């Protein structure tokens, strides 16, 4: 099939004109209705790949960039990015189209996880998806890292809430806002009790609310949750709020026809121009106890006539549960900001060095691996130089020059991974490393190092780099081992006058199994101004030091392969 005619076999499209029955009071498409359309489209994509019924397990964070008006067209495109054992990730893209002027714009993008369920109850093992295009390869590669983030989300929240500096900042911020010079401030007098925003609503699940498996349609549950959350937000501000973002929907159990679905919502906290509403769905039949079906957290704004966010009143939380929700809302806001400015930003839009601290470590690690995988997935590399089967490739775009060096080495991939992921060993084979010291071992997968490199000129200063190294074993057979590097800043290791502080945008290794005794090793670098001088003569064809460096690396791996512990490093956590 030609490249122009190729279409992903799991891709499903849906187009729908927004009618008044789909709209809210502002003549804009109800977000609840949009969630139903998104979920049904994604489910069809998942089932197209699975060949059997699928149910929604979760939907990642959704950020709504624009609203959709009556008469406009919603275009939804869903396709499966990657299959795991019995679950798969489906990407959902929503755009809006104005039929009268031909304009189209992005509304949101989401990732949903679906689980395959065989009608007979047998366990389903999904076949792997084979990416065909550069975009599919990138999504397939990064899907494993997104799955890792979902699995540790609860631990991230727990770590932030237990952090002493975070608890101190909450306490100080609360009292600064609530008290002024030892007297009750105007903020405290205007604070809205959270009890006033509480909403509880019961829905009877009818056949029209069920999917083809007679379970309550996931999109319908999300729509009901959005409805009660909107009411809670309206009670706080006595106005019509606009939903801007939804934290992850996580379905904890099924619901079916005949269930009574109890939906509860309450405002957890306000942040000057926005508020967080917590909402949960529970189900029961007859005299049985409530079953937890789903929870989510929604961020609302209230816009003035000019479309600008209004200032919202503070809340007065209940003493026990209310205070817990209040604190957790602050933690989730921090997570949202970390995701927005670390994960969601394009690599070229981020500062080279991002301040590191334990609370944003997970997102920096994700972005580190994400950036390297995206760089590796590009298909416009140009062979620049080759010597004895060691190849140097370059790629120039977005005002940056990237290079990669690639060769095969007679060392098992797992062994090469263990040796190359320890940067303190690199000075033994890389002449550009004068010194490498471990600053912090964050965990088994992430380390922070200080690297000292030679001066690029005879009279110049030496350079140093503070690098975070993130390593990942393969998620599945056929995936590479990954060692990703990027610059970070630490308050304990500030630049000094006698040393030039360099920065690395994105660098690292991918290591593929060729056979049980041979690995293909590729080194990537998105060259910054501080890195480029070390490779510029190779790129210009004036030298072949890249070959000497790789030959030295190969010798090091061969000499030390017996020292590396023999282990199967294919990730079991994923």
- Please name the residue that has the structure tokens 């990642």: 60
CB atoms within 10 A of CB 244: 17
Q: Cβ distance 550 to 405 under 8 Å?
A: yes
Q: Cβ distance 277 to 266 under 8 Å?
A: yes
DSSP letters spanning 107-169: EEEEEEEEEE--TT-PPP-PPPP---SHHHHHHHHHHHHHHHHHHTHHHHHHHHHH-HHHHHH
Distance (Å, rounded) from C-alpha 330 to C-alpha 163? 13
Instruction: For residue 253, give the 3-state DSSP assignment.
Output: coil
Distance (Å, rounded) from C-alpha 201 to C-alpha 4? 51
Class for the domain spanning 351-560:
alpha beta
Count CA atoms closer than 13 A to 107's CA, side-chain side: 25
What integer pLDDT is reported at residue 566 of this predicted model? 56
What integer pLDDT is reported at residue 574 of this predicted model? 39
Distance (Å, rounded) from C-alpha 393 to C-alpha 381? 6
DSSP letters spanning 64-77: -----BTT-EEEEE
Q: Cβ distance 534 to 523 under 8 Å?
A: no
What integer pLDDT is reported at residue 312 of this predicted model? 93
Instruction: For residue 424, give the 3-state DSSP assignment.
Output: helix
Average pLDDT of each block of 10 consecutive residues along the chain (574 residues)?
74 97 91 96 96 93 93 97 94 96 94 90 87 90 88 79 72 49 50 94 95 88 96 93 91 93 96 94 93 95 89 90 90 78 51 76 89 90 88 81 91 95 92 92 94 76 92 90 94 89 90 94 81 59 72 93 64 40
Distance (Å, rounded) from C-alpha 108 to C-alpha 42? 14
How far is CA 208 from each of CA 166, 256, 282, 291, 354, rounded to the nearest angstrom? Answer: 46, 11, 19, 21, 50
What integer pLDDT is reported at residue 385 of this predicted model? 85
Give span(s): CATH 3.10.129.10, the chain: 8-138, 188-347
Distance (Å, rounded) from C-alpha 185 to C-alpha 180? 6
Residues sharing a CB contact under 8 Å with residue 266, sequence separation 6 or more, in sequence order? 194, 197, 198, 199, 232, 277, 278, 325
- Please name the residue that has the structure tokens 């760089």: 375
Q: Cβ distance 538 to 545 under 8 Å?
A: yes
340: DSSP letter: I
Work out the end-to-end distance of the chain between its first and last CA atoms, rounded to an integer number of angstroms. 33
Instruction: For residue 295, give the 3-state DSSP assignment.
Output: strand
What integer pLDDT is reported at residue 184 of this predicted model? 46
Two tokens at 250? 């996580």
What integer pLDDT is reported at residue 543 of this predicted model? 55
Q: What is the 3-state secondary structure (H, E, C) of 429-468?
A: CCCCCCEEEEEEECCCCEEEEEEEECCCCCCCCCEEEEEE
Count CA atoms closer than 13 A to 275's CA, side-chain side: 34
Distance (Å, rounded) from C-alpha 282 to C-alpha 264? 8
What integer pLDDT is reported at residue 502 of this predicted model? 85
Give span(s): CATH 3.30.530.20, the chain: 351-560
What integer pLDDT is reported at residue 120 of this predicted model? 77
How far is CA 43 from each of CA 82, 116, 504, rounded to the nearest angstrom? Answer: 14, 10, 41
What integer pLDDT is reported at residue 319 of this predicted model? 86
- The dihedral built from the CA positions of residue 475, 478, 481 and 486, taken in this order, carries a sign that is negative
Q: What is the rounded radius of gyration, in angstroms, for the C-alpha atoms of the chain? A: 26
What integer pLDDT is reported at residue 153 of this predicted model? 77
- Closest by CA to 251, choosing from 198, 285, 211, is 211
Q: Which CATH architecture has domain 8-138?
A: Roll (3.10)
- Closest by CA to 54, choosing from 4, 103, 12, 96, is 12
Q: Cβ distance 272 to 298 under 8 Å?
A: no
Residues sharing a CB contact under 8 Å with residue 128, sequence separation 6 or more, in sequence order? 83, 476, 478
Q: Cβ distance 68 to 103 under 8 Å?
A: no
Considering the domain 188-347 in this protein, what is its CATH number? 3.10.129.10
Distance (Å, rounded) from C-alpha 248 to C-alpha 147? 13
């Amino acid at each position: 099939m030609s490249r122009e005619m190729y279409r992903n076999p799991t891709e499903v499209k849906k187009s729908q004109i927004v009618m008044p029955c789909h709209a809210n009071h502002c003549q804009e498409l109800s977000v609840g209705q949009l969630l139903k359309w998104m979920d049904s489209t994604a489910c069809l994509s998942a089932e197209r790949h699975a060949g059997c019924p699928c149910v929604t397990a979760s939907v990642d964070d959704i950020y709504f960039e624009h609203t959709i008006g009556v008469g406009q067209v919603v275009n939804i495109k869903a396709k499966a990015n990657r299959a795991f054992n019995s679950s798969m990730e489906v990407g959902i893209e929503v755009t809006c189209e104005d039929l009268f002027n031909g304009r189209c714009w992005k509304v949101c993008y989401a990732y949903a996880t679906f689980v395959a369920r065989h009608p007979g109850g047998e366990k389903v093992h999904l076949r792997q998806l084979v990416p065909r295009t550069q975009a599919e390869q990138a999504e397939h590669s990064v899907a494993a890292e997104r799955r890792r983030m979902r699995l540790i989300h609860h631990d991230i929240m727990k770590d932030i809430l237990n952090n002493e500096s975070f608890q101190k900042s909450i306490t100080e911020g609360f009292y600064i806002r609530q008290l002024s010079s030892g007297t009750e401030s105007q903020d405290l007098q205007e604070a809205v009790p959270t009890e006033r925003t509480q909403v509880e609503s019961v829905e009877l699940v009818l056949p029209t609310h069920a999917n083809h498996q007679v379970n309550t349609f996931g999109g319908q549950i999300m729509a009901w949750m959005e409805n009660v959350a909107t009411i809670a937000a309206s009670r706080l501000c006595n106005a019509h709020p606009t939903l801007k973002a939804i934290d992850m929907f996580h379905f904890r159990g099924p619901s079916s026809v005949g269930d009574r679905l109890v939906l509860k919502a309450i405002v957890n906290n306000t942040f000057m121009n926005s508020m967080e509403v917590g909402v949960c769905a529970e189900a029961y039949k007859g005299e049985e106890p409530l079953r937890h079906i789903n929870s989510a957290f929604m961020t609302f704004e209230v816009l003035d006539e000019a479309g600008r966010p209004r200032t919202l009143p503070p809340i007065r939380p209940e003493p026990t549960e209310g205070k817990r929700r209040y604190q957790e809302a602050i933690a989730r806001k921090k997570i949202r900001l970390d995701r927005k400015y670390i994960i969601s930003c394009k690599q070229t839009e981020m500062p080279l060095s991002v301040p590191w601290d334990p609370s944003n470590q997970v997102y920096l690690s994700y972005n580190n691996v994400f950036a390297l995988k995206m760089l590796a997935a590009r298909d416009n590399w140009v062979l620049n130089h080759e010597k004895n089967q060691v190849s140097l490739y370059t790629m120039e775009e977005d005002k940056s020059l990237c290079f990669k060096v690639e060769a095969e080495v007679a060392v098992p991939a797992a062994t090469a991974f263990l040796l190359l992921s320890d940067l303190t060993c690199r000075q033994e084979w890389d002449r550009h490393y004068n010194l490498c010291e471990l600053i912090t071992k964050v965990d088994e997968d992430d380390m922070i190092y200080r690297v000292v490199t030679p001066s690029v000129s005879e009279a110049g200063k030496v350079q140093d780099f503070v690098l975070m190294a993130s390593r990942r074993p393969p998620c599945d057979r056929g995936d590479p081992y990954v060692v990703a590097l990027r610059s970070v800043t630490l308050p304990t290791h500030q630049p000094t006058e006698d040393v030039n502080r360099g920065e690395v945008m994105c660098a690292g290794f991918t290591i593929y199994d060729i056979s049980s005794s041979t690995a293909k090793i590729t080194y990537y670098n998105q060259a910054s101004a501080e890195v480029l001088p070390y490779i510029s003569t190779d790129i210009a064809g004036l030298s072949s030091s890249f070959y000497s460096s790789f030959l030295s690396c190969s010798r090091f791996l061969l000499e030390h392969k017996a020292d590396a512990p023999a282990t199967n490093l294919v990730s079991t956590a994923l």
